[in-house]
């Protein structure tokens, strides 16, 4: 969630799902592209003709992480916590054929809607499971995945139990030694939540970086921060070039600068975890 979107969209379907009202809005510039909203909050954009197209800024940044997780074209084992319309899973399937992917989505009715209206390619090898992200993660085998993406929102907020050291430790356990952890975090001034999440990731992974627009980092705008953690050095130079060339360019913060960003923030534990801040009511503009 939390991104800018074009305004020329027309609602084509509304359906009550388990955790709200889902809307599918057709993209006027792409004949088979759709935006999924839940209770008015944009969740996903999918182009059925071009799954390699990533519309939302933060999803483009997660796409860069996918691109750098392994040499080009090499299949990956990926665990997606949070499903939406399966945008990133479709991207992995398109850019890395034969990848084995598991998507965890708590809203069974939403999964059914996406399968009916935005069907997957039969060769995609994407398996969708319904359930709580942390519960499913706790049962994942050790060192099973090359990439784990945490992108779970409920009413526009990341649930508290997916923000702690215990949660990130469980994610690290499920990753292979050279695997990557990537999390989508939404925050605004004074960025206390984002700083706590950086401290949390650094408590588990020896290498980390964040990717965000300068306006978000300065607290001038509520928006998305993508956090990446690993047990190996990250390809910072390449990631910096990729994010700088995006339509909405972003900065990559790492090393001592990342340590300074998180200065004074303590790692979050299950005992003190809180959901991410609620987005401003006017963030996504007027309802359709």
For the segment 134-178, what is each residue's pLDDT rounded down to a tens digit?
A: 999 999 999 999 999 999 998 889 999 999 999 999 999 999 999
Distance of CA 112 to the CA centre of its chain: 21
What pTM was computed for the model?
A: 0.94
**Averaged pLDDT of the chain:** 94
Which of 6, 43, 46 is CA-nearest to residue 23? 43
DSSP state of 162: G
Domains of the chain, earliest start first? 53-261 (3.40.50.150)
SS3 content of the chain, % helix, strand, coil (to 5): 30, 30, 45
| pLDDT attached to residue 281 | 81
| Active-site option among 151, 178, 246, 282 | 151
Q: Which of 166, 171, 173 is nearest to 183 (CA)?
A: 171
1 has pLDDT over 90? no
For 169-225, write each residue's pLDDT tens digit.
999 999 999 999 999 999 999 999 999 999 999 999 999 999 999 999 999 999 999
The distance of Cα 135 from the centroid of its chain, to the nearest Å, equals 18
Residue 122 banded pLDDT, cuts 50, 70, 90: confident
Instruction: Answer for the pair 3, 56: CB distance below 8 angstroms, yes or no.
Output: yes
Instruction: Identify the burial level of 244 via C-beta atoms within 10 angstroms of its C-beta, where 0-12 means exposed, 13-18 middle and 19 or more buried.
Output: exposed
132 tagged catalytic: no
> DSSP alpha helices (H): ranges in the chain?
57-68, 87-95, 108-117, 133-138, 165-174, 192-202, 214-217, 236-244, 255-261
User: Is a pLDDT exceeding 60 seen at residue 254?
Assistant: yes
103, 93 contact by CB (below 8 A): no
Written as six digits, the tokens of 79 are 């665990």
Residues 91, 126 contacting (CB under 8 angstroms):
no
**pLDDT > 90: percent of the chain:** 90
Under DSSP, the state recorded for 5 is -
């Amino acid at each position: 969630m939390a991104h800018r979107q074009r305004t020329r969209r027309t609602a084509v379907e509304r359906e009550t799902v388990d955790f709200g009202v889902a809307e599918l809005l057709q993209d006027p510039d792409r004949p088979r592209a759709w935006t999924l909203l839940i209770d008015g909050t944009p969740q996903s954009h999918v182009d059925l003709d071009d799954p390699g197209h990533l519309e939302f800024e933060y999803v483009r940044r997660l796409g860069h992480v996918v691109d750098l997780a392994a040499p080009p074209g090499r299949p990956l084992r990926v665990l997606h916590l949070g499903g939406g319309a399966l945008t990133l899973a479709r991207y992995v399937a398109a850019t890395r054929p034969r990848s084995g992917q598991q998507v965890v989505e708590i809203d069974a009715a939403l999964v059914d809607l996406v399968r009916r209206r935005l069907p997957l390619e039969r060769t995609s090898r994407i398996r969708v499971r319904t359930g709580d992200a942390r519960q499913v993660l706790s049962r994942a085998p050790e060192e099973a995945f090359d990439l784990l993406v945490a992108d779970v929102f409920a009413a526009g907020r990341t649930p508290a139990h997916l923000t702690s050291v215990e949660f990130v430790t469980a994610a690290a356990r499920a990753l292979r030694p050279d695997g990557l952890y990537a999390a989508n975090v939404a925050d605004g001034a004074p960025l206390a939540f984002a700083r706590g999440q950086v401290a949390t990731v650094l408590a588990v992974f020896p290498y980390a970086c964040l990717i965000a627009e300068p306006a978000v980092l300065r607290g001038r705008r509520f928006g998305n921060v993508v956090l990446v953690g690993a047990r190996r050095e990250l390809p910072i130079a390449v990631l910096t070039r990729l994010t700088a060339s995006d339509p909405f360019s972003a900065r990559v913060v790492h090393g001592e600068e990342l340590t300074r960003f998180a200065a004074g923030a303590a790692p979050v534990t299950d005992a003190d975890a809180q959901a991410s801040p609620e987005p401003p009511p006017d963030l996504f503009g007027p309802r359709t």
